[in-house]
A and B are shown apart, each in its own frame.
Chain A
Amino acid sequence: DTGVSQNPRHKITKRGQNVTFRCDPISEHNRLYWYRQTLGQGPEFLTYFQNEAQLEKSRLLSDRFSAERPKGSFSTLEIQRTEQGDSAMYLCASSLGSDTQYFGPGTRLTVL
């Protein structure tokens, strides 16, 4: 399978815990995006990388959120001190330049 993969697919955590998600983009895609989708809404942009550089962060990305893309390959999104409002589907997408963004299956986070 050469598509975008995300792990884990589901994560249940207690409020206050830290969680980390991983995204593996399509090989050779230099851009990687993180979006968040809540029930009944469209995906909302969080941040994006061009190669290993994080070039843009949405105001939705509070200080509790951090993302990395070491070596310009896979990316991780960490949420510290999770809150119930963080419950959402976290989607990763990759593209070659400004071409089509291909989305992964997402990680569903539930904060109890």
Chain B
Amino acid sequence: QQQVKQSPQSLIVQKGGISIINCAYENTAFDYFPWYQQFPGKGPALLIAIRPDVSEKKEGRFTISFNKSAKQFSLHIMDSQPGDSATYFCAASVAGGSQGNLIFGKGTKLSVKP
């Protein structure tokens, strides 16, 4: 059972455009939602994260939008650049719990064309 569903699987955006990646979760106990960026041959690196007490968080060109009632959250990359080409993973966890392991989506491969 996949607890975090991510779409699209791949995305091609022109330089300067907006990249949008969506995720949906099932477990209402999740209270921490990070996005990770991964380049080939590298480990995932935290990009931005949100907790359900806010509906939006922005850091530079990256914004998370969170809809608690719909159990959905999304990543928006404004002014997308070729250097943003990577695989993006959404994740969720029960951060306040004793475990805190992350449940990841399957990833979105983003290609930004110059």
Contact = CB atoms under 8 A, between A and B. Distances in A.
A33 B101 contact: yes
A48 B95 CA distance: 14
B99 A42 contact: no
A95 B91 CA distance: 15
Contacts of B91: 42
Main secondary structure of the interface of A (DSSP, over half): strand
Contact of B46 (A35, A40, A98, A102): A102
Main secondary structure of the interface of B (DSSP, over half): loop
B105 A42 contact: yes
Interface stretch (A13-21, A66-74, A76-84, A103-111): A103-111
B101 A48 contact: yes
B98 interface: yes
A45 B43 contact: no
Interface in B84-114: 89, 91, 93, 95-107
Given A40-B107, A41-B107, A104-B43, A98 B101 contact: no
A51 interface: no
Interface of B: 6, 32, 34, 36, 41-46, 49, 89, 91, 93, 95-107
